[in-house]
Structure 1
Amino acid sequence: MKKYIVLLSLSLFGFAQQTPAPKQTKSILILNAKAHLGNGQVIENSLISIVDGKIAAIGDATVMRVAAHDVTIDASGKHVYPGFIAPNSTLGLVEIDAVRASDDESEIGEFNPHVRSIIAYNSESKLVETTRPNGVLIAQITPRGGRIPGSSSIVQLDAWTWEDATIKVNDGIHLNWPKSYSRAGWWAEPGGIEINKNYEPQTKSIQEYFESAFAYLGSKNTKKDIPFEAMNGLQSGQKTLYINANGEKEIIDAVLFKKKNNIKNMTIVGGYYAFRVAPLLKENNVSVLLKRVHDLPLLEDEDVNLPYKNAKLLVDAGVLVGLENAGDMERMQTRNLPFYAGTCAAWGLSKEQALQLISGNTAKILGIDEQYGTLEAGKSATLFISEGDALDMKSNLISLAFIDGRNISLDSHHTELYKRYKEKFEQAKK
């Protein structure tokens, strides 16, 4: 029996992912590419110097001069982008949905702010390596389940262990706000939506928990409460409170909750109807990680294109917006993040505005913008070179990618299968 278990495990999980790249030792100069900086700006004919994992210099190649580098890359006719960032992700927490032993995305219980997703992150997940060939190089690893699932952390996606991968540990607490409505009966039944009679008690329990936690943190209690200790930093701004909410009422109540509890940094995750209360969000400095763009409307009588237009409505209102990908098959879909941004560009945003949704804007929301998210001198050299438009699935063809200046592998289980069966058909032609 043990023999069969071992064989099954090998067939399900395969072998480890590509070997992480070593630390940068040679200076690199990228010339003549069109550089999309991730802050709305573009350099048509760029020069990018990478030294010791950092962008040492960036500018117009026609006027800027630098000393000779160990490696020079002529990227004429190509595009350079900052590494894309996938927030609110369970990447690395689940390998195969149907195999319980590979699922570590949630814990039992309702209030678990002390649960740290980072220690469950599998840096050798085969799903992690599928994101890199499309330019997704950074992710926020986020727990699921319960009212407060726990604390997220931010990782780069080419590492030996979770310790090596970590960019920012315990960046925020995640809260699943109650819905003001509930669905009765089978999900496909028409008219199955009704008012959630428990909404007020549920929101009250959240308020009571936060009050107890902050009272504990403000006291000199000698008995340590680990869950309450994890709430430390929400009022000072060291941590962000990420509230999962889509409805208009829920979002308004969440903003009022922020004000009542003196929470400095808050982000709405999902935010499907956030555009209806955009002035309130802007006034209270609340950002939005918008729910998956490639989706159907929440209600059957809505504009079928609303999910595509949502980002522009919020951007035009002055709200800081990023894109997230929670939902069905979310880990496998992570690689499609740039194409969500491309759809936003097709429905009103400029290409550079759309790019910001998965680069500079998301870095600001996650609090890593001092080092990541845009191409600027002094920041991490986490970027990639694409043959074409990285937001277009037809022309997104990445030839080189760097994380902290390390030239990472773009191979994956997908590319290995492609090469294998390409060879099969080439043999058949002979």
Structure 2
Amino acid sequence: MKNFKIYMLPVLFFITGNLMAQQTPAPQQERAVTIVGATAHIGNGEVIENSLIIFEDGKLTTVTDANSTKRQYPGTVIEARGKHVYPGFIAPNSTLGLVEIDAVVQSDDEDELGELLPHVRSIIAYNAESQVVESMRPNGVLVGQIAPRGGRISGTSSIVQFDAWNWEDAVLKEDDAIHINWPNSVRRGRWWEGEDPGVKPNDDYEKDIRTLSQFFNNARAYLSGPQNTANLPFSAMKKVIDGKQSVFIQADGEKEIIDILQFAKEQKLENIVLVGGYNAYKVADEIKAANIPVLVGRVHSNPNQEDNHYDLPYKMAYLLHSKGILVGLENSGSMERMNSRNLPFYAGTVTAYGANKEEALKMITLNTAKILGIDDTLGSLEVGKDATLFISDGDALDMRTNKVSNAFIQGREISLESHQTQLAKRYIDKYGQQEKK
């Protein structure tokens, strides 16, 4: 038995390595790339039907109509007539790379013990070799904001690109925001303790808000004093207090959203982002007046309340957009990591419920980049920005036609192979062989 274990160990390591290995990250761009003839969806609402796009050293140098220039095309030329080119899609408020297998505790780093944890940094737990992260790229999802979960203040997120050896290589914007789970004003009765299982007021709601406010006040007092004693949670609040770090607040209820607006005013917080916002359309005027953007919760969802219209989740983004609110799409919830690859199709659904196609596209490109504070380098196909983009055979917001043929992150052409594509090829071969018999 002992010898059997010795012989089996190398086999297990070999199998595990093959199961977990990700595609090798692409090398730095060495020569110019020119894309000719594609319909370019710039990401800012503009469309160029017959485009000429050139990028060198990871940056876009030309984005124009191909008919407007007759010069020699430099570097590698990709003829893309009949295809479409898009800026890389951005997945905000995501736990991609923090959990690999839900049932394996050792692979779950999305949550930490405690309630007030602004000093917990999700980036150091980010697994750049995650097979789940790898599966985003064939649908054009190339960038994400990696955020923690749990507690009242979950921790600090960072923004990464999805083709890297490790988190240091992946990070685009480190420690960009802290994430808060706002308390609920109502709760469901705990039937296991003999309570009525129906919805009832949360008696601790005001107390929870006071606790959160007190934490902010104590952090401000600590940072303005001599700081003779180290306090990691208070120290981690410095950029928030100075207005240099965003605060993403998860809340759905109408009352909760109004209380968040008041909290932001009292705490003098300038960079607030509302996440989820299921009932935000009811207080859209107040949100607009406060100039707060909204990351709308998963579009492909069922209504939360009995008196909601069946398609409310589908049209939520458009309802807020029509009020002049800056809107992005996020995907937190059940099976969120695997479902993140559906981000473009959420935007596609939004087009069927009010928004035009380019406005919906902005909700997963430039709008999200603005919300995350990275629109100077990402979110649209504009000269000077990172060459993070992809070419699709058809409409990238339609799951029937989003077939990505080439993808680039900072000018590097990345692999579109994943565990899923390998399985697809394997079983296509299998059934192809059966058809021949």
TM bucket, shorter chain: over 0.9
In the other structure, the counterpart of 1:142 is 147
Secondary structure, aligned partner of 1:420: helix
In the other structure, the counterpart of 1:336 is 342
Shift of 1:13: 8.1
In the other structure, the counterpart of 1:52 is 57
Instruction: Return the alpha-carbon distance in structure 2 between the equivalents of residues 184 and 289 of structure 1.
Output: 29
TM-score by length of 2: 0.95
In the other structure, the counterpart of 2:260 is 254
Which 4+ residue blocks in structure 1 deviate beyond 6 angstroms? 1-6
In the other structure, the counterpart of 2:30 is 25
Contact 1:234 1:264 in 2 (8 A): no
1:276-332: CA deviations, max 9, x gaps? Answer: 111111111111011001001111221010001101110000100100000000000
In the other structure, the counterpart of 2:333 is 327
Shift of 1:46: 0.6
Deviates more, 1:247-256 or 1:177-186: 177-186
Instruction: Return the alpha-carbon distance in structure 1 between the equivalents of residues 14 and 160 of structure 2.
Output: 27
In the other structure, the counterpart of 1:304 is 310
Secondary structure, aligned partner of 1:234: helix
In the other structure, the counterpart of 1:164 is 169
The amino acid of 1:145's aligned partner reads G
Secondary structure, aligned partner of 1:145: coil
Choose from 114, 119, 130 the match for 1:114: 119
Contact 2:99 2:110 in 1 (8 A): yes
The amino acid of 2:217's aligned partner reads E
Change (3 A) 1:10 1:212: farther
Instruction: Return the alpha-carbon distance in structure 1 between the equivalents of residues 191 and 397 of structure 2.
Output: 37
Shift of 1:102: 0.5
In the other structure, the counterpart of 2:179 is 174
In the other structure, the counterpart of 1:422 is 428
Question: How many equivalent pairs are there?
Answer: 429
Secondary structure, aligned partner of 1:233: helix
Contact 2:254 2:280 in 1 (8 A): yes
In the other structure, the counterpart of 1:16 is 21
Structure 2 residue 374 is matched with structure 1 residue 368: yes
Contact 2:100 2:130 in 1 (8 A): yes
Shift of 1:9: 10
The amino acid of 1:261's aligned partner reads Q
Contact 2:190 2:196 in 1 (8 A): no
The amino acid of 1:271's aligned partner reads G
Secondary structure, aligned partner of 1:376: coil
Choose from 207, 210, 234 the match for 1:204: 210
Deviates more, 1:151-160 or 1:220-229: 220-229
Choose from 369, 376, 401 the match for 2:407: 401
Instruction: Return the alpha-carbon distance in structure 2 between the equivalents of residues 338 and 258 of structure 1.
Output: 32
The amino acid of 1:203's aligned partner reads I
Secondary structure, aligned partner of 1:86: strand
Instruction: Return the alpha-carbon distance in structure 1 between the equivalents of residues 185 and 202 of structure 2.
Output: 5
Instruction: Return the alpha-carbon distance in structure 2 between the equivalents of residues 81 and 65 of structure 1.
Output: 23
1:116-159: CA deviations, max 9, x gaps? Answer: 00000000000011100000000000001100010000000000
The amino acid of 1:104's aligned partner reads D
The amino acid of 1:384's aligned partner reads F
Structure 2 residue 108 is matched with structure 1 residue 103: yes
Shift of 1:193: 1.2
Change (3 A) 1:347 1:115: same
Shift of 1:66: 4.5
Instruction: Return the alpha-carbon distance in structure 1 between the equivalents of residues 85 and 422 of structure 2.
Output: 25
Secondary structure, aligned partner of 2:367: helix
Contact 1:148 1:175 in 2 (8 A): yes
Contact 1:147 1:177 in 2 (8 A): yes
TM-score by length of 1: 0.96
In the other structure, the counterpart of 1:80 is 85
1:241-289: CA deviations, max 9, x gaps? Answer: 0000000110110111111111110000101111111111111111101
Structure 2 residue 224 is matched with structure 1 residue 223: no
Secondary structure, aligned partner of 1:217: helix
Structure 1: gaps (5+ residues): none
The amino acid of 1:15's aligned partner reads M
Contact 2:151 2:181 in 1 (8 A): yes
Secondary structure, aligned partner of 1:62: helix
Instruction: Return the alpha-carbon distance in structure 1 between the equivalents of residues 341 and 77 of structure 2.
Output: 29
1:78-114: CA deviations, max 9, x gaps? Answer: 0000000000000000000000010011110000000
Contact 2:20 2:130 in 1 (8 A): no
Q: Alpha carbon RMSD of aligned pairs, Å?
A: 1.9
Contact 2:189 2:196 in 1 (8 A): no
Secondary structure, aligned partner of 1:149: strand
Choose from 266, 270, 274 the match for 1:268: 274
The amino acid of 1:320's aligned partner reads L
Contact 1:27 1:69 in 2 (8 A): yes
